Structure 1
Amino acid sequence: MDRILLERLGIGWKDSVSEANEKRMKEYDRQLEEALDYVEEYNKYWETARELDLQAMLEKRRLYEKGFVTEDGKTQLAVSIRICEPLRRLFAEAREEVLRSLTEEPAADVERSPVWVPDFAHIQDEDLHVTVCIPSLWREPNVGPAHDAYNREVAKALHTIAADHEAFVLEVDRLVLTKDGSLLALFRAVGATDGKVVPVHDILSDRGSDTLDPMTSLRSDVLYVFLEKKLSHIQRQNELDLAQVHEHPHLLRQATIVKTVGGSAHGYIHCSLCRLAVAPELTKRPVDWKAIHRVCRSWTAKLAGRRMAVRDFTLSEMTGLGQGRNKNPFDQARWLEEIQLKQTTGRTTQMFPRSLAQNWAWNMRLLEDFPLGFPS
């Protein structure tokens, strides 16, 4: 593949796990510092606030709600990694504790709630996910054969990509409430095996290893295949092909998939738990940001280092009509397809057994390989 395109985007597709994680951590730290600095700015707002204009606040709440609404009938494609148990359950518990620290009063009433926690900004537990990318704009679906053929072509291309990517591992780094009210679980990448049977203590590459970063690699390959196979034409009146891109690099910035995947050097690896309407103009009373940050720090201590195996991802044509609205790629999706990553001969997938029987079989295999105990 010609990777000059990706280098121009600054995605860093050749970066190692260590290099990619270092860049992510700098961005995560910046976001956290910005959120902590905002606490002082937020408190000053309330110190100087004049009489509350309830009508203006209600109008701003309605405007906030519109940000989650999609025009009826429109859809877009999403490539997402589902959060699996038990991590999903822990994220849900963390979210509930944050919400309890936010308000003990009924909070879903847009008109009367002092602190408003809208239902539509809350993604249900089973749909918690990490977004790989959003490859298309919101569009009117053509229910005819052309629309369905395009979906099949995208799925076929992503199956081809997946065949070259081994299962890999993500590790929780922290839980953070950002300045805009997004409650996020942030991840680092770990790595995958090289496809060979390896000693037990080398099953997974470390988060500081020199192997190719699997998340950046997957994202950049999705981007590349959309341009190389001209799948991005759905977003434009004229097709965007590689020849044009090389001659006119500014075209890259006009493609939705490029903005989404290459928006930052490696993109967050994050799961959005909910979005809180905590801006001062959206509440009737001040929110204790410091209390929320304390809860996030506590849950960071509980969650940091927990790992999740990524064995597959989901391509979905989302409608934005379910719970979580246009932030949920699964609920009330028009169409979706699970795409498996490459199955290796190593033991990456066996590190995370899905049943007690599989766990027992894994332990018995270890005993056969190492009858005198594990290597030191």
Structure 2
Amino acid sequence: MKKGCFILLFAFLLCSAAFAAQPGAETGLFEIPPAWQQTMDEAPLTAQEFRSMSLRDLWDFFSSQLKGTVQAPIRLAARLAGILVLAGVVKSLCSEKALSGLGTSFDIIVAVSVFLLCSPLLLQMIQDLKASLENCRTYLAVFIPVFTSVMVSCGQAGTAAVYGGLFLGFANLIAALLCNFGVPILQLLLVLNACGIMETPVDFSALTRGIAKWGRWLLTFCATVFGTLLTLQSVFAQSTDTLALKTGKFLLSSSIPVVGKAVSDAMGSVLAGVKLLKGSVGFAAILIIALTFLPLIIKCVVSQFLFFIGEIIAGATGNATCGKLLRGMTDYLQLQLAMVVFFSFVVVSTTVLMILLGNGSA
């Protein structure tokens, strides 16, 4: 008799605690842990606000966040076009005899002027890339333990171990490699591109193009390998978590008389609320990472397009040296864009995968 009363009392307390912890706007009984709330507050936009935003609202939000991103490349493009057009006009006004006397000196002078004009923006983009990687690395060191605690609360202990172990180590490794090796390679490409202006036995332009091509291929290969490995480990871990959760709910509903089913259902409601919070916390991180790297991505894309237009103008004005220089700058920007997209894709796609895993399980 005493044993039965004790079981009923324990079931009543467990059921009451479960219902009290059930999240809801009307009840106000669910208290979000401070670390979770702080992570969501750091984002400039919540998941609920994002769902209710129209296309115009989204445009206004992102345009306000990215205001001034393309101003520097556009100003540079105007100056670049002015130099190339002016050089073309000067060449057209000079006689063939004067041009043959100058040889390639005039084209080299124009190319050096273009390089000195464009190099400050490119060097600043390298510094922005390094600073963004360091900031993201610091943020992930704080965010990942918070997000893994949310996943453990959702009954995804195995998946949380994958996210907090494999992904955290790989993200730190990527950031360190890009800062210590990727940034120097970008600086080396700028130097090689500048050397390509001069007529030398070594074709530095082809060397720059080859390094950029193989660098992009290596980044694509690493992203594919890591994505496959992380997805397989996460799926296997989620299968184990789902089995453990269903087993626990079955034992709870079958071992506690009368109210076992109610307690099991209450646990399901609590888990559903925590999974909703998991999506909100993950969305905050995704938005912060996106806003960290999106300006640099847009600047790289816009600069590539403008340098491509400059290459066309250089070809139209008969300055092959300057066209080769601008083509090398385009290759450099493609490699930098690949680095930015690679790191941001790994972080964002992995976080999205962790949000989606387990949402369909009871």
TM-score range relative to shorter protein: under 0.3
Structure with the bigger percentage of strand: 1
Query: TM-score scaled to structure 1, two decimals?
Result: 0.22
Query: TM-score scaled to structure 2, two decimals?
Result: 0.22
Structure with the bigger percentage of helix: 2
